Amino acid sequence: MATFPMPAGTRFDWHTHEDHQLAWAASGVLTVLTAGATWVLPPTRALWIPAGLPHETASDGRATMRSLYIRPGLFPVRWTGTGQPVPVAASPLLAELIGYLGEPDLGTSRRAHAEALLADLLTPVPVTTIEVRLPGTPTARRVAEALRADPTDRRTLREWGREVGASERTLARAFAAEAGVPFGRWRTLLRLQAALTMLAAGEPVSRVAGRVGYDTPSAFVAAFRRETGQTPGSVFSPRRS
């Protein structure tokens, strides 16, 4: 087990592990990115990351990450052959076991018993993920990066075109072809993805709505429900653990 204090803005760039990893936020909120999804993890969630899978781990605010590293083939987990991350419920007992397994003088027999219990406790849970692809065209990429830095920016694509030196039509084509969705929906998804980290940190929906660019909480709730099928307040509800 390894503990990583993460000051606000910490980012562990793309990397892989030879072992399976169980990543858990003992405090704060973690964000784990893979090629196919972005996982937002409050302390009530952990993420099983298969060995060899490229990923990036970050924290917008202050956090503490604890990770268990488990050699492939030595841990009785049902989903190890999927090759994809699996979010699991981080119960208080699971948190205690993570710390227990990190003790350096733990004997072989005790470790085996603790790992067997850990395997029983790893209960997959549904976690809302919102994937936002970035366009590759340099001018469209500049727009995307600026909006990632400030999701509340309301400039139209025409106004952005004057900013980056490209026509509205050129930018629209780039977002549709390279990000996979029209610019308007792309910006909605970006705002909702930014909201997930704030919701995971326990911020009220009314405050999150304004911080990601919505005039009213009801407009934010409607957009969130339309894209995810859930309300913002239910995403990290304890009932989902």
In tens, the pLDDT along 163-182 reads 999 999 999 999 999 999 99
DSSP string, 4-49: EEE-TTEEEEEE--SSEEEEEEEES-EEEE-SS-EEEE-TTEEEEE
**What is the architecture of the domain spanning 138-240?**
Orthogonal Bundle (1.10)
Please identify which residue in the block is written with the tokens 């709505």: 209
**Alpha helix segments (H runs only) across 102-182:** 108-121, 138-149, 157-164, 168-174
For residue 220, pLDDT beyond 70:
yes
Residue-wise pLDDT tens digits, 30-49: 999 888 788 899 998 899 99
Over residues 92-100, the mean pLDDT reads 87
Q: Which two tokens stand for residue 102?
A: 């990190």
pLDDT for res 238:
56
Q: Which residue intervals of the chain bear CATH 1.10.10.60?
A: 138-240
* Structure-derived torsion over alpha carbons of residues 171, 140, 200, 41, reported in degrees to the nearest 10: 130
CA-wise closest residue to 87 among 5, 30, 132: 30
Q: What is the CATH superfamily name and number for domain 2-121?
A: Regulatory protein AraC (2.60.120.280)
Residues forming CATH 2.60.120.280 domain(s) in the chain:
2-121
CA 144 to chain centre: 18
